[in-house]
Structure formats: structure tokens, C-alpha cells
């Protein structure tokens, strides 16, 4: 469910829409996971981590697995901003923890 402002980062055939984790219909489906004893595997880019935190907080009984460490991106439009990327990722990961 990767999405980023920089469309060169994601495969256009598999990229998700902006704000998917805030979509009410998506959250309806997410709400079904914990009662079924299931977890949520998140593969996303680091700018999406605040959305993941928000949905995890809304559904605290659903285990969340963060694949690829929250998608730290250091290419394309982020190449010249490595420290900013790391700082943003680090803040978000601490908040999620």
C-alpha cells in the first residue's frame, strides 16, 4: 500500500491512493482483523507512518507488522535530503513503538 508524492518511487500498477489508511471503507475492513485473530502487515513509505500510527491507535487490539522498516527512501526526490528523511522516519518509528 505504498504511496508517495514522488510517483517515481512506486509501481503505478500497485501504488495505493493517497490517504488509504484514513478511508472509512478501508478502516471497516481493518476493524475485522483483530476479531479474527489476524494482524496487519504494512508495507509503506516513511511519510505514511503517521497514518499507520493513527490507524494502529484507533484499533489497538490489531497487531501491526511494519515491513521494510517503514520504507526509508533515499532516492529520487529524497536523495538530497537523507538527514531529513532519517529524522522523519526516526520520529515516526518512535511514536509507533
In a 3-state reduction of DSSP, which class is residue 83? helix
Per DSSP, which regions of 1-97 are E strands? 40-43, 64-67
Range of the domain at 57: 20-96
pTM of the model: 0.71
- Classify residue 82: in a domain, yes or no: yes
- Provide the pLDDT for residue 3: 81
Low-confidence ranges of the chain (pLDDT < 50): none
- Provide the pLDDT for residue 71: 64
- Classify residue 5: in a domain, yes or no: no
Structurally, how many domains does the chain consist of?
1
- Classify residue 26: in a domain, yes or no: yes
Q: Which is nearest to 41 in space by CA: 62, 20, 11?
A: 62
- Classify residue 8: in a domain, yes or no: no
- Provide the pLDDT for residue 79: 76
CA Rg value for the chain: 14
In a 3-state reduction of DSSP, which class is residue 94? helix
> Cα–Cα distance between 65 and 16 in angstroms, integer?
18
- Classify residue 4: in a domain, yes or no: no
- Classify residue 65: in a domain, yes or no: yes
Amino acid at each position: 500500500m505504498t504511496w508517495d508524492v514522488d510517483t517515481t518511487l512506486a509501481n503505478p500498477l500497485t501504488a495505493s491512493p493517497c490517504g488509504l489508511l484514513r478511508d472509512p471503507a478501508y478502516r471497516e475492513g481493518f476493524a475485522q482483523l483483530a476479531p479474527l485473530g489476524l494482524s496487519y502487515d504494512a508495507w509503506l513509505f516513511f511519510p505514511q507512518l503517521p497514518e499507520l500510527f493513527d490507524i494502529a491507535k484507533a484499533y489497538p487490539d490489531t497487531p501491526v507488522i511494519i515491513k521494510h522498516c517503514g520504507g526509508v527512501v533515499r532516492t529520487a526526490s529524497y536523495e538530497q535530503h537523507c538527514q531529513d528523511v532519517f529524522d522523519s522516519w526516526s520520529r515516526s518509528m518512535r511514536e509507533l513503538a
